C-alpha cells in the first residue's frame, strides 16, 4: 500500500469517527489527520481506542476559518481529503439555517480552495471525496428510488446546504479539474450516534422511561444503513470509485418511523428484562416537523455492481448491536446528554 496522508474532516463525529477508525487500523502506512472543530456533535471520546496510534493525528480547526484550514493543509500536505464535517441535523437547520450555510457551504468551499491551492495542477494520485446525503434528492412518494441520475430537489435548510456543497464540489471538478468523487448515503445508525437523531434519541428515552416523540402520524419512511457499512463504502469509493462520479449508498432497508420505533421497543424490552409491550406505551405522537420529507429510498445498484459493495449486517442485527453499544456505554450517553443537550431537548420537544 502506497504511503498517503489523508485529511478526514469531521472525524470526531458519528460517521467520521468510524471512517477514521477504519482507515487508521486498515492502512497503517497512511497518516490520518482528523480535522474537526469539536462542535456539540464532535467528541474525541469516540476515538479513544485509536488516539495513540502512530498514524493518527488530531487537528482542532474550524472549516469556516479559511486560514486555519490552509495552515493544516500546509502542515500535513495531504494526498487525499475525505470531507464529512457538517452541521447534520434537520431540526437544528430549521431553527438555525445560517449555521448550516457557514459550515456546509462556506466550509466546503474553504476546503476546496485549500485543496486546489495545495495540489496546484498536479493531481496525480490525489482525490477529494465529498460525503453527502440522499436528502439532496428531495422526497419520494410511496414508490420509486433515488438513483445517481435523480435531479436535486432539496427541501430543508440542511438538505439545501448539502445540495449546495455538492454543486460546489462538481463546479471545482468542472472548472479547475479538481479530482473529486461523491457519495450520497441514506440514514445511518450505530454506535456513537448523537441522541438528537431518531434512533439514539429513542434508545436514550426508552432507557430513561421518557416519552418517545414520534413526529406527525409516524408514517414517514427512511432507508437505514449501519454506520460501519457506510464507512466501508467510503473506503471503497475513495480508493476505487471512478473520478468525478457519484455513488449512492443505502441499505435497501425502508422503515416507517412508527414501525421502527416499535421494533426498537421490542428489542429493548427484551434486553432490559421488561415485560413485552412496556416501552411501546411511551410512544407519543407530537407536532410534525415543518416541510417533513415523506420518504427516502436509495437505489444502491451502481456501487454494488461496480465496486461489489453491499451491507454486511441485517437491520435486526445492526439495531441489536447498536442497542448493546448504548447499554454498555452509559457514561458516554450521560456525558453527551447533560448540559446543552437538555436545553436543546426542552426547546425542541417543548410541547
Least distance from ligand NAD to the Cβ atom of residue 29, Å = 25
Least distance from ligand TYD to the Cβ atom of residue 315, Å = 14
Q: Is 15 in the site for ligand NAD (CB under 6 A)?
A: yes
**Residues 84/104, Cβ–Cβ less than 8 Å:** no
The dihedral region occupied by 98, where left means phi > 0, alpha psi between -120 and 50, and beta the remainder, is alpha
Least distance from ligand TYD to the Cβ atom of residue 93, Å = 9
Q: Residue 5 burial by CB count (10 A; 0-12/13-18/19+): exposed, middle or buried?
A: middle
Q: In angstroms, rounded to a whole number, what is the distance separating the alpha carbons of residues 42 and 6?
A: 19
Q: Is 86 in the site for ligand NAD (CB under 6 A)?
A: yes
34 makes contact, choosing from ligand TYD, ligand NAD, none, with CB < 5 to 8 Å by partner type, with: none
158 is catalytic: yes
Q: Read out DSSP for 40-57? A: TT--GGGGTTTTT-TTEE
Stretch of 45-53, 196-204, 276-284, 311-319 lying at the interface with ligand TYD (CB under 6 A): 196-204
**Residues 20/46, Cβ–Cβ less than 8 Å:** no
Out of 93, 257, 267, 279, the only residue in the binding site for ligand TYD (CB under 6 A) is 257
Q: Is 237 in the site for ligand NAD (CB under 6 A)?
A: no
Instruction: Kindly identify the residues of this chain, within the stretch 265-324, that bind ligand TYD according to CB under 6 A.
Output: 289
Q: Is 14 in the site for ligand NAD (CB under 6 A)?
A: yes
**Residues 129/238, Cβ–Cβ less than 8 Å:** yes
Q: Is 220 in the site for ligand TYD (CB under 6 A)?
A: yes
Q: Is 112 in the site for ligand NAD (CB under 6 A)?
A: no
Q: Which three cell numbers stand for residue 21?
A: 477508525
Give the contacts of 307 (CB within 8 A, at least 6 positions apart). 236, 237, 240, 241, 247
Q: Is 90 in the site for ligand TYD (CB under 6 A)?
A: yes
Nearer Cβ to ligand TYD (123/215): 215
Out of 13, 16, 157, 213, the only residue in the binding site for ligand TYD (CB under 6 A) is 213
Q: Is 267 in the site for ligand NAD (CB under 6 A)?
A: no
Write down the catalytic residue from 36, 59, 87, 134: 134
Size of the site for ligand TYD (CB under 6 A): 12
Q: Is 34 in the site for ligand NAD (CB under 6 A)?
A: no
Strand ranges across the sheet with 187-189: 187-189, 221-226, 254-256
Q: In angstroms, rounded to a whole number, what is the distance separating the alpha carbons of residues 128 and 221?
A: 31
Nearer Cβ to ligand TYD (39/51): 39
196 is catalytic: no
Q: How far is CA 330 from the centre of its chain?
A: 22
Q: In angstroms, rounded to a whole number, what is the distance separating the alpha carbons of residues 351 and 347?
A: 9
Q: In angstroms, rounded to a whole number, what is the distance separating the alpha carbons of residues 254 and 270?
A: 23
**How many other CB atoms are there within 10 angstroms of residue 2's CB atom?**
8
Out of 37, 81, 212, 214, the only residue in the binding site for ligand NAD (CB under 6 A) is 37
Pairing of strands 283-286, 212-215: parallel
Give Cα separations from 237 to 82, 127, 152 (angstroms): 11, 11, 21
Out of 6, 24, 33, 41, the only residue in the binding site for ligand NAD (CB under 6 A) is 41
91 is catalytic: no
Nearer Cβ to ligand NAD (37/268): 37
Nearer Cβ to ligand TYD (90/101): 90
Out of 10, 80, 191, 200, the only residue in the binding site for ligand NAD (CB under 6 A) is 10
Binding site for ligand TYD (CB under 6 A): 90, 187, 197-198, 201, 213-215, 220, 222, 257, 289
Applying CB under 6 A, the residues found at the interface with ligand NAD are 10, 12-16, 36-39, 41-42, 62-64, 84-88, 103, 107, 131-133, 162, 185, 187-188, 194
Amino acid at each position: 500500500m502506497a504511503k498517503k496522508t489523508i485529511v478526514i474532516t469531521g472525524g470526531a463525529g458519528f460517521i467520521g469517527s468510524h471512517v477514521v477508525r477504519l482507515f487508521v487500523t486498515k492502512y497503517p502506512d497512511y497518516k490520518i489527520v482528523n480535522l474537526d472543530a469539536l462542535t456539540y456533535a464532535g467528541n474525541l471520546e469516540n476515538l479513544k481506542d485509536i488516539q495513540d496510534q502512530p498514524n493518527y493525528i488530531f487537528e482542532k480547526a474550524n472549516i469556516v476559518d479559511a486560514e486555519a484550514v490552509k495552515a493544516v493543509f500546509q502542515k500535513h500536505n495531504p494526498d487525499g481529503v475525505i470531507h464529512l464535517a457538517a452541521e447534520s441535523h434537520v431540526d437544528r437547520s430549521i431553527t438555525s439555517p445560517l449555521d448550516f450555510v457557514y459550515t456546509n457551504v462556506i466550509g466546503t468551499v474553504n476546503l476546496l480552495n485549500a485543496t486546489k491551492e495545495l495540489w496546484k495542477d498536479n493531481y496525480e494520485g490525489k482525490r477529494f471525496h465529498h460525503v453527502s446525503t440522499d436528502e439532496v434528492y428531495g422526497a419520494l412518494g410511496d414508490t420509486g428510488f433515488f438513483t445517481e441520475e435523480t435531479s436535486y430537489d432539496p427541501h430543508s435548510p440542511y438538505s439545501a446546504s448539502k445540495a449546495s456543497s455538492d454543486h460546489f464540489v462538481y463546479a471545482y471538478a468542472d472548472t479547475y479539474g479538481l479530482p473529486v468523487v461523491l457519495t450520497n448515503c441514506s440514514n445511518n445508525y450505530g454506535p456513537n450516534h448523537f441522541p438528537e437523531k431518531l434512533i439514539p434519541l429513542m434508545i436514550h428515552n426508552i432507557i430513561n422511561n421518557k416519552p418517545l416523540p414520534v413526529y406527525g402520524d409516524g408514517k414517514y419512511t427512511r432507508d437505514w444503513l449501519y454506520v460501519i457499512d457506510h464507512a466501508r463504502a467510503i473506503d471503497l469509493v475513495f480508493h476505487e470509485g471512478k473520478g468525478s462520479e457519484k455513488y449512492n449508498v443505502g441499505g435497501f432497508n425502508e422503515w416507517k418511523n412508527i414501525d421502527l420505533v416499535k421494533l426498537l421497543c421490542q428489542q429493548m424490552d427484551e434486553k432490559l428484562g421488561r415485560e413485552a409491550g412496556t416501552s411501546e406505551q411511551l410512544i407519543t405522537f407530537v407536532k410534525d416537523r415543518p416541510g417533513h420529507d415523506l420518504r427516502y429510498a436509495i437505489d444502491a445498484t451502481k456501487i454494488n455492481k461496480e465496486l461489489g459493495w453491499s451491507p454486511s449486517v441485517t437491520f435486526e442485527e445492526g439495531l441489536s448491536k447498536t442497542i448493546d453499544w448504548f447499554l454498555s456505554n452509559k457514561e458516554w450517553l450521560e456525558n453527551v446528554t447533560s448540559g446543552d443537550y437538555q436545553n436543546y431537548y426542552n426547546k425542541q420537544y417543548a410541547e
